[in-house]
């Protein structure tokens, strides 16, 4: 049987993995709100964001309590300091999903996206959602090989991001400045969401190996 201390450490990882699943759902729904011009789904994402913020506060409190009462060392200390970082990253992922939902709400009942970019955003949504679910799995299993696969998914996101800009900046773009501004910011939200998921996975690699893999692309 694990002792209280080990339970607390495991509990901290559980909160983080749960947060990842929540922000995955948030991004999935926010993308649906965007693509299907669905105000109700947008509102749901916006309302749920407060729960993600609460989970972050919970994770930070648990981390602080462990440092205070258990003074962890070695791997355990890395678990706790990494949790502090990752809670911030995952909360930010929730904020970015929130921004997508807010954009859908702001333009409702009009769609934000002209038809020629909806396919890219559908892919960005599924790539982002998959990244967040994988990050949850990496936190749960501490699987370093799986952690490294997030880098490839992030490359997919970066490619999508670049494609979207090439559409916006092509001479054939016929929708003017306002949709271009919306799309520029939306694409950035998805790209940053993916960066944070990679960052979470890298922290797990650090927990396991004691070394941080390469710096986040900025």
Would you tell me which residues interact with its own copies (CB under 8 A)?
Answer: 49, 53, 60, 63-64, 67-68, 71, 73, 77, 81, 84-85, 88, 95, 98-99, 165, 168-169, 173, 176-178, 180-181, 184-185, 188, 215, 218
CB of 68 to its own copies, least distance (A): 6
CB of 180 to its own copies, least distance (A): 5
DSSP 54: H
If one counts every other C-beta atom within 10 angstroms of the C-beta of residue 26, the result is 28
CB of 89 to its own copies, least distance (A): 9
Kindly state the tokens that stand for 80. Answer: 């706790």
DSSP 172: T
Choice between 67 and 144, CB closer to its own copies: 67
CA angle 170, 128, 206 (to 5 degrees): 125
Choice between 16 and 130, CB closer to its own copies: 16
Choice between 109 and 176, CB closer to its own copies: 176
Map tokens 């271009």 to a residue. 180
CB of 75 to its own copies, least distance (A): 12
Choice between 136 and 164, CB closer to its own copies: 164
Are 182 and 164 in contact by the 8 Å Cβ rule? The answer is no
């Amino acid at each position: 049987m694990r002792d209280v201390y080990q339970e607390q450490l495991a509990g901290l990882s559980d909160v983080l993995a749960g947060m990842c699943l929540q922000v995955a759902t948030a991004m999935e729904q926010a993308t649906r709100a965007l693509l299907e011009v669905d105000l109700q789904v947008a509102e749901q994402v916006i309302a749920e964001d407060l729960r993600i913020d609460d989970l972050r506060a919970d994770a930070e409190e648990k981390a602080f309590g462990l440092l205070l009462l258990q003074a962890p060392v070695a791997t355990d200390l890395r678990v706790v300091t990494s949790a502090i970082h990752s809670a911030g990253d995952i909360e930010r992922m929730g904020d970015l999903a929130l921004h997508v939902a807010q954009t859908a709400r702001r333009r409702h009942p009009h769609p934000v996206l002209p038809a020629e970019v909806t396919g890219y955003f559908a892919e960005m949504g599924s790539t982002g959602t998959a990244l967040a679910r994988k990050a949850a799995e990496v936190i749960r299993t501490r699987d370093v090989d799986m952690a490294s696969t997030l880098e490839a998914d992030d490359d997919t996101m970066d490619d999508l991001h670049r494609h979207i800009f090439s559409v916006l900046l092509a001479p054939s773009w016929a929708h003017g400045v306002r949709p271009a501004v919306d799309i520029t910011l939306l694409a950035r939200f998805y790209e940053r969401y993916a960066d944070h998921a990679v960052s979470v996975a890298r922290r797990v690699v650090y927990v396991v190996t004691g070394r941080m893999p390469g710096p986040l692309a900025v």
